[in-house]
Each structure stands twice: as structure tokens, then as C-alpha cells.
């Protein structure tokens, strides 16, 4: 089936719910059992607060449209430590959305941030949008920023003190080299973000 037919099929599925303003619990339960609903994004606004904050329900739908669901979830749900593992799974399925906001507790949570950056690195997902959202105190942590660069965050966004750090420069070079080796779509090594490092004040003794 080509893309146009798939889109039409999905639209027909959503049309079946167009007259429902807010799902009742039974209506949502029935919709959740519908194997033809591949993406929940268009239906999220129909899920009432008491159901969208049900962890079991969130666990069933987060994979289909994670950033749309993340935006829909209340801050209280995102900040709840009982939901931290679920938030980690949701935010590391794809690149963190541009202009999305991390809740206050998560942006200061070093354990959460490190786990997310490791997943981004392992999956080859760029971490730059995510890194921009974490707290200044975590950006000032070398372990955090080192991992961010190794998962695609550009040196432009890192604290000034790290722009003159030879270890960070080497990590950036390694990232570019690994991307070139691993991707058949990248035709050459491009170090254009090299200019964002402070090479003049960098101690390169015994480094290169």
C-alpha cells in the first residue's frame, strides 16, 4: 500500500471518532483495542485529564507519537518520580522536539540526563535539542557535556570553559569520524563546528 492510501486509511479511522469531543473510559478502552490506530497524536486532545494521567494508558500509547504525548501530559505527571522511567523511554524514541520544554525536576536530574544522553548516543540520535533544555549546573558538569558532544550536541551550545578543553575537542572529532564511518549517506568528514572551539586558549600539549 502506497503512502497516499495509508494516509487516507488513517484519516478514515480518525473520522470514526470525529463526533467524540471527550473520550469516556469505555470509549477510550475500545479505541485502545483498535489495531488500526497507528498514531495517537490526532486523538490525544480527546483524552480527559484523569485518563491521560493514567500511567497504564500512557504506557500503551507513548510509542506512536511520543513528543505530541509529552506536550499533552501535565507537568505534575512529568515531574512525578514514579514516572521517570516512562519519561526516559518517551523522550529517547526520537530527537527531542525543537522548542519543547523539560520540566524543572528532570532538567536538574543528573541521573535522568545521563541516561537519556547514553540512549541518544547508542541509538545515534542527535542530543542537541535535549541538551539545550537541561539546567546550567548540569551543562557545567564535564561528564554530562562530554556525553552530550559524543551524542551530537554542537560545541556552540556548551559552556565557555569547555570550548577551550582539549578533551571536548577530541570528543567532537571522534563523533564526526564515527558518524562518517557508520552512515552511508555522509560522503565526507565535515568539521565545520570546529570553529566554535576556543583553540587559541586550548592546551594541546601531548594531545596531537
Q: What single string gives the DSSP state of each residue in 5-44?
A: HHHHHHHHHHHTTTT-SS--HHHHHHHHT-TT----GGGG
Q: What 3-state class would DSSP assign to 107?
A: helix
Confirm if 138 and 127 have CB atoms less than 8 A apart: no
Neighbour count for residue 192 (Cβ, 10 Å): 8
200-203 contacts at long range (C-beta below 8 A, 24 or more positions apart): 201/164, 202/164, 202/165, 202/166, 202/169, 203/164, 203/166
Q: No. of H helices and E strands in the chain? A: 13, 0
| Per-residue pLDDT, 92 | 95
Distance (Å, rounded) from C-alpha 40 to C-alpha 6?
15
| Per-residue pLDDT, 101 | 86
For range 14-36, the mean pLDDT: 94
Overall size of the chain counted in residues: 208
Confirm if 51 and 60 have CB atoms less than 8 A apart: no
Q: Which one is predicted more confidently, 101 or 51?
A: 51
pLDDT digits (tens, 9 = 90+) for 148-161: 999 999 999 999 99
Q: pTM for this structure?
A: 0.85
Distance (Å, rounded) from C-alpha 77 to C-alpha 84?
9
| Per-residue pLDDT, 121 | 96
Q: For residue 202, is pLDDT > 90?
A: no
Amino acid at each position: 500500500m502506497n503512502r497516499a492510501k495509508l494516509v487516507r486509511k488513517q484519516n478514515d479511522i480518525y473520522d470514526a471518532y470525529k463526533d467524540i469531543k471527550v473520550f469516556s473510559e469505555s470509549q477510550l478502552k475500545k479505541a485502545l483495542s483498535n489495531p488500526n490506530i497507528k498514531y495517537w497524536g490526532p486523538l490525544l486532545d480527546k483524552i480527559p485529564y484523569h485518563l491521560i494521567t493514567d500511567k497504564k494508558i500512557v504506557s500503551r500509547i507513548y510509542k506512536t507519537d511520543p513528543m505530541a504525548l509529552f506536550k499533552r501530559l501535565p507537568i505534575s505527571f512529568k515531574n512525578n518520580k514514579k514516572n521517570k522511567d516512562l519519561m526516559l523511554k518517551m523522550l529517547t524514541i526520537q530527537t527531542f522536539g525543537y522548542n519543547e520544554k523539560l520540566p524543572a525536576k528532570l532538567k536538574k536530574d543528573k541521573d535522568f540526563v545521563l541516561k537519556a544522553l547514553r540512549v541518544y548516543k547508542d541509538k545515534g540520535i542527535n542530543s542537541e535539542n535535549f541538551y539545550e533544555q537541561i539546567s546550567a549546573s548540569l551543562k557545567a558538569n564535564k561528564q554530562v557535556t562530554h556525553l552530550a558532544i559524543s551524542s551530537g550536541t554542537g560545541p556552540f551550545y556548551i559552556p565557555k570553559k569547555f570550548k577551550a578543553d582539549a578533551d571536548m575537542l577530541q570528543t567532537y572529532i571522534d563523533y564526526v569520524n564515527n558518524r562518517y564511518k557508520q552512515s552511508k549517506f555522509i560522503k565526507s568528514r565535515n568539521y565545520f563546528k570546529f570553529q566554535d572551539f576556543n583553540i587559541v586558549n586550548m592546551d594541546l600539549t601531548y594531545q596531537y
